Amino acid sequence: MTESSPTITTPDADADVDPTFRDSALPVEQRVENLLGQMALEEKAGLFFQTMITIGEDGSLSEGDATFGIAPTSDMVKGRHMTHFNVFGAASSATQMAEWHNRLQELAAGTRLGIPVTLSTDPRHSFSENPGAAMLAGPFSQWPETLGLGAIGDEKLVEQFGDIARQEYTAVGLRVALHPQIDLATESRWARQVATFGEDAELTSKLGAAYIRGFQGSELGPDSVATMSKHFPGGGPQKDGEDPHFEYGREQVYPGDNFEYHLRPFEAAFAAGGSQIMPYYGMPVGTEYEEVGFGFNKSVITGLLRERYNFDGIVCTDWGLLSDAELMGQAFPARAWGVEHLSTRQRMLKVIEAGVDQFGGEAIPDLLVELVRSGEVSEERIDESARRLLREKFVLGLFDEPFVDVERAEAIVGNAEFRAAGDAAQRASVTLLTNRVLAGSESAVLPLSRGVKVYLEGVDAAVAGTYATVVETPEEADVAIVRIGAPFEQRATFFENFFHAGSLDFTQEKVDELRALAATVPTIVDVFLDRPAILTPFVDDVAAIVGDFGASSAAVLDVLFGDAVPQGSLPMELPSSMDAVRASRPDVPFDTADPLFPFGHGLRY
């Protein structure tokens, strides 16, 4: 066997295994029933758990990661019969990830039934690094954040992105996307909105469906990446914009009585054939639904998702609803909002009764086995979800071709064509907010002329030197270019600060710095808009403001110097003040009074 073309090995430890389920000529449902009928309860229970897995050094199987509470790979596959994992961390290369994937599939092939592993991933094509939400692009092509795709607003481009990501994912064995995130960012402070398409239901519905088509194709099959649309029934209306990864963000509120608005993107996802759904951590307050987290919520999962929408795909909880954990050395309680008083066992039972198929971020199948053996959960209920989980493995072709070609992976992932497409999207997403005509000039400050003297802050000087003459002080410069991030509040723990939350106001110190610089030299400010920063204090002082949603220095400079034209339009409004944000209704779009820049704003050259 070579690394590039491994052969399938079938287990021979149990001569009683009927290999009929391996016959690709048979209908999927027949294969599912044949396999399911041979599975022990422990093997069925293993299907229900999808947790994080890491790549070992040099592509070896990992012995675990104590920092994030990740168990050794062999223990999870052989000891706990688990066959679904979320790949944690960036890969050093496509070769490393592909070789690791094949070693993992070899391990799974050596179990009694040889059920292949299904690998999922959080987004890994942009600039975010958040162990709870997104991974750095690493060897993959690099694109703007999803919010930047919203700023471009082009269905064809989003479908192209999905198709490129699909090719890169499948090349290394990633078969489930834990995205798109089709929540509506109707609360300006919410930490997770950078991974959304913005606050407009129509735009999100259109782009979310295109995203799913790109990843899955016209129907789910051996060349697809299954999509897990999230977070049903819409995670945007967070009280005070706080995120329900944390206890202080547990409540979702609907003062505008606008619950139905947040369902629209999911209706589009169902129509596009979206394969899986992830409910959010939050608990609805003041609605007709039970006031417990959505993953525990039978009125939402069974009543709304299964019965109203007739969704028969996989439902997987968000990560860590059942078990308390320690993360980076600090306590991280289970996100069991509304059922904190229940034991882990009781929480598991409530999730099962709600109609969910899989527990994200958990690795305790023994407890599920106990629930069945005690009579609290019927094996028929276990079989119901097991069928869905097995069916998708067969439809994705994992039983027929579980391995990937390592050489092909290296050729596909991050190739020149894909990188060029990502770079072009970065440039297209840059959004021009202001562009002043300075005193004594007949034209606006942007685009800049090549060769001008520039003073830089937050910009790669080596890159900028190919456009202009970089100088050391503002006094020497013709223009200053400053790149900054949207503001956020520092929180108590290390993990919390991956989630940018709290006030959208810049500190007075930062405002004073920008004003002083602008008083010295015409200043162009580029703001990374992972949240809608309040630009009011300096909007009239600086020469121009652009917003980016994940873009390299070269992509931004291409726009500033006119090599590319700004094409972005705001996918969310930029409020004029924090008072306006606090007075707005979290479930209603476009609801801050007198926004500084409205939804859809974007100037052109």
Catalytic residue numbers read 318
Taking 3-state DSSP, the helix, strand and coil percentages for the chain, each rounded to the nearest 5, stand at: 35, 15, 45
User: Given its phi and psi angles, is residue 550 left (phi above 0), alpha (psi -120 to 50 degrees) or beta?
Assistant: left
**Tally of helices (H runs) and strands (E runs) in the chain:** 18, 18
Query: Which DSSP category does 330 fall into?
Result: E
Looking only at the bridges linking them, the beta strands covering 453-457 and 479-485 are parallel
Q: Indicate the SS3 state at residue 192.
A: coil
Query: Which DSSP category does 574 fall into?
Result: B
Dist CA 93 CA 397 (whole Å): 25
Are 148 and 426 in contact by the 8 Å Cβ rule? The answer is: yes
Helices 155-172 and 201-216, axial angle in degrees (round to 10): 40
Dist CA 64 CA 76 (whole Å): 10
Dist CA 282 CA 246 (whole Å): 10
- DSSP states along 121-168: E---SBS--BTTTB-B-TTS-----HHHHHHH--HHHHHHHHHHHHHH
Dist CA 66 CA 46 (whole Å): 22
| Phi/psi at 288 (5° precision) | -75, -10
Are 188 and 240 in contact by the 8 Å Cβ rule? The answer is: no
Cα 235 → chain centroid: 13
Are 201 and 380 in contact by the 8 Å Cβ rule? The answer is: no
Taking CA atoms, 344 is separated from 66, 322, 330, in Å, by 21, 5, 20
Helices 264-271 and 201-216, axial angle in degrees (round to 10): 30
Q: Is the N-terminal amide bond of 180 cis, ω within 30° of 0?
A: yes
Are 337 and 291 in contact by the 8 Å Cβ rule? The answer is: no
Tokens standing for 454? 């520039």
The full length of the chain comes to 605
Tokens standing for 526? 């580029």
Tokens standing for 165? 């990501």
Are 237 and 253 in contact by the 8 Å Cβ rule? The answer is: yes
Dist CA 478 CA 523 (whole Å): 9
- Planar angle of CA 315, 224, 63, nearest 5 degrees: 70
Dist CA 547 CA 434 (whole Å): 10
